A and B are shown apart, each in its own frame.
Chain A
Amino acid sequence: MLAYTARRLLMLIPVLLGMSLIVFAVVHAIPGDPAKTIAGDKATPEQLQEIRKNLGLDQPVYIQYFKYLQALLQGDLGTSLVNKTKISEEIGPFLAATAELSFVAIAIALFFGINLGILSTWRQNSWLDYGSMFIALIGVSIPIFWLGLMEQWLFAQELGWFPSNGRLDPRMEYEPITYFYIIDALLFGDMAMLGDVLKHILLPAIALGTIPMAIIARMTRSSMLEVMRSDYVRTARAKGISEFLVIYKHTLKNAMIPILTVVGLQLGLLLGGAVLTETIFSWPGVGRYIYDAINSRDYPVIQSGILVLAFIFVMINLIVDLLYAWIDPRIQYGKE
């Protein structure tokens, strides 16, 4: 297991190197000029040239890449062209915001997805089955931005149950510790803040969790149906174990491997692909951070931002792979 983990971690190096090269190439292939976004639409040619020189953008692209790589190897993610802040100092809160939202979204997706899936296997080909799978179908087809706007309209504007945007009532000032607001609120023991944070996170988390929920529901259904037919389930039933235990204890655990794979992939996607949700709910996350950087051609932020996300994606996949062994002891790593 340890050897396997070490090998996987070592493999990260070529993966990240390759990523950095691809990202760098793509980013520099985007037409447009960062100098212009810094100086505004109104700058003179001399000013623009000066800015390009200051930023090192007048050098050949391959030299820029090697300089970038050199800094990267020293753990330096670079400095934003636009606001001159070190990316490593700046990116933390954005990552935390996205991670918090993604975790809550995936938790909601897991809970509802698995139970919907179980519901439809439990009474296969009944109206429960069709109903659940219809919900799942809607879930994968619904555009997130539309769902988000509808949630805001109904729950914020009309009913006033939840705030329409943000992570916390802006009137509540506080100095973040972990930048995970739920954890911070717990650390402070501030229940009012915790309630406010949870109220804020619910609507965007539902919007973000809908697609994974639907995918998980479908995957649970097909995976469960397969396991339900196996002999040991029949034996368990014959022993007179309650249906609840048969499903949740005996069947679900064996059906979990493919579900876990889906969850891992979806979580990775959520972490990087939450731009729409983050935009509609004004969630200050990493997706919007990179999106804004693309608009202003802030090369270092785009490069390092994507690289960090790629790193997280790979790490999540590694964790999922390791979890397989924990869930199903028959799976072993490191033995040929």
Chain B
Amino acid sequence: MKKRLWLVSLIAIFIFSSVLVGCVEKKSAGTGKNDKTLIYGRGEDAKLLDPSLVTDGESTKVTDQIFDNLVEYADGSTDVVPSLAESWEASEDAKVWTFKLRKDVKFHDGTPFNAEAVVFNFERWADKNHPQHKGGDFPYYAYMFGGYKGDPGHKIKSVTAVDEFTVKFELTSPQAPFLQNLAMSAFGIASPTAVKKDPIAFTRNPVGSGPFKLKEWKKNDTITLVKNENFWRKGEPKLDKVIFKVIPDNSARFTALKSGDVDIIDGLNPTDVAPAEKDSKLQVFKQVGMNVGYLAFNTEKKPFDNPKVRQAFNHAVNKEALIKNFYSGLAKPAINPMPEFMLGYNKNVKDYEFDLDKAKQLLAEAGYADGLEVEFFAMTAPRPYMPDGKKIAEYIQADLAKIGVKAKIVTHDWQIYLDKTGKGEHQMALFGWNGDNGDPDNFLYVLLDKDNTRMPDAANIALYKNDELHDLLIKAQELSDEKQRAELYMKAQEIIKRDAPWVPIAHATVPYAAKKEVIGFKTHPTTELSLEKVDFAQ
């Protein structure tokens, strides 16, 4: 009896399911096999798709395709060229900036782009009482423009629409990297209509004016963008569709490229670069990044309060060997705190050469002839500028041992690492920086000025304080003449080299790999991603 019940129910399930099969109509545009679709493999999903709310590169890789800025970076440099703004001029004192806007731009939802839209976006970001100041904390706005409306350091006094296509910014004091800031991913101009409708939902359904529109977001899996047929730059984008696909594991991502599941990837393991270059079906792009990996000394703690000790350690770090062994050659030795392609880079600064005898001698002069013991923080979170902090630390440790320094390596989870270094609990620590806007101020002031030694969140983790340097950096912030600024930054790099708060180690090259048929892909020092010119070779 029981057995028969079992059989009956099995048959019932079978019949039921065969009725169900095909009874739901599939809502989709089909597979679109003839579409030109680029699949971009990467390590993590975006957090939110409103660029003004995020700080992670994975989110902005996507929003870069959806949004346009008033101005944008030129190919291959951090110079600024027109985008939504056709032209601009600054007043004599560099406090008033007037932008002429393009007249032929519409957002993806049909809302016309005009001066009011620009004003709306800036007010939303700046004013904490703005009805659409929601969804997050607009961290980059506060960070690049000195806080929010009403804060003492806030740089933007007002943004006004002079006429339909002219917008005027008044600053409280001149801000040298103002244009560079406007070109940052975070300041993509959003459709006011869409934001007003629901600022929270906007973070999942972004509406901009860029070359691609959002079609679908499957969390932790894929983000599908489709061509914006009405993009204002005629003839672009070339692709019909871009799919960002999350493949967390670096090796698995590379395998996916080789087996043809994706067309282009970032975040290659350095060891995979050489095989990728040899593969006849692939091409590799290498971009010297806007970054620096460094070893910072806590200049407030013994023994590193003594510049001689810091110089001695500088002589004991073999950068070439570190780059060869741990960056797989994918880096340039860092001499100054910022990479070469930036304004005011000082080519005349001479590095402390790798020389253990000299290091020993300097230690002896500092009173440590018998050696010393230090604690050495090593970051374990892999970053392009520090691919394997622990091994790099061990290598340095071995060289230090030769000059009588016993370094004890300490590791922490990345969050804790940030906490502890931000509070100055380290003696010396490996660290690094990815630049934001491509201005020297973003490296030298942020990482080495005394203003940024405030704990518990010191960005200057060397806690290095030099008034002479401070004066130079502040002066450079208030000039708009590039040449004068460059001179000040050159001087600043000399001071930093002399005082040696860091051992600058390397500027990492960021590798991408793609199938051979992908054309028109260009990397950028800011690691901003632009795909509107990318196409497939016929």
Contacts and interface: CB of A to CB of B under 8 A. Distances in A.
Nearest to B29: A173
A47 B53 CA distance: 13
B39 interface: yes
Contacts of B256: 156, 164-165, 282
B409 interface: no
Interface stretch (B131-139, B299-307, B365-373, B390-398): B131-139
A83 B201 CA distance: 11
A241 to B, nearest CB: 17
Interface string A208-245: 00000000000000000000000000000000000000
A284 B221 contact: yes
A77 to B, nearest CB: 16
Nearest to B134: A84
A234 B189 CA distance: 81
Contact of B32 (A93, A171, A288): A171
Contacts of A94: 219-220
A247 B354 CA distance: 75
A187 B221 contact: no
B467 interface: no
A43 B457 contact: yes
A280 B24 contact: no
A18 interface: no
B9 to A, nearest CB: 13
Contacts of B261: 156, 163-166
B255 interface: yes
Interface string B88-111: 000000000000000000000000
A50 interface: yes
B157 interface: no
Interface string B373-412: 0000000000000000000000000000000000000000
A84 B419 contact: no
A202 to B, nearest CB: 15
A164 to B, nearest CB: 5
Interface in B41-55: 44-45, 47-48, 55
A280 B35 CA distance: 29
Interface in A30-76: 31-33, 36-48, 50-51, 54
B249 A280 contact: yes
B500 interface: no
B413 interface: yes
B139 A175 contact: no
A170 interface: yes
Given A47-B137, A157-B255, A164-B252, A173 B416 contact: no
Contacts of B418: 32, 36, 41
A308 B220 CA distance: 19
B166 to A, nearest CB: 32
Nearest to B415: A32
A153 interface: yes
Contacts of B247: 165-166, 282
A41 to B, nearest CB: 6
Given A164-B252, A188-B26, A280-B252, A45 B454 contact: yes
B203 interface: yes
Contacts of B27: 174-175
Given A83-B48, A166-B221, A282-B252, A173 B215 contact: yes
Nearest to A51: B137
A1 interface: no
A292 B220 contact: yes
A124 interface: no
B75 interface: no
Contacts of A297: 415
Contacts of A31: 413, 415-416, 419
A131 interface: no
Nearest to B244: A170
A82 B216 CA distance: 20
A153 B255 contact: yes
A287 to B, nearest CB: 11
Contacts of B246: 282, 284
Nearest to B204: A85
A171 B219 contact: no
Contacts of B35: 171
23 contacts: A32-B416, A39-B137, A45-B454, A46-B147, A47-B139, A84-B48, A84-B136, A84-B203, A93-B218, A152-B259, A156-B255, A156-B256, A165-B252, A166-B247, A170-B245, A171-B33, A173-B31, A173-B224, A186-B20, A187-B24, A280-B252, A281-B252, A284-B219
Given A38-B136, A41-B459, A83-B47, 18 more contacts: A38-B55, A43-B139, A44-B457, A51-B137, A83-B203, A84-B135, A156-B255, A156-B259, A156-B261, A157-B255, A160-B259, A166-B221, A170-B39, A171-B37, A173-B224, A188-B25, A189-B22, A284-B220
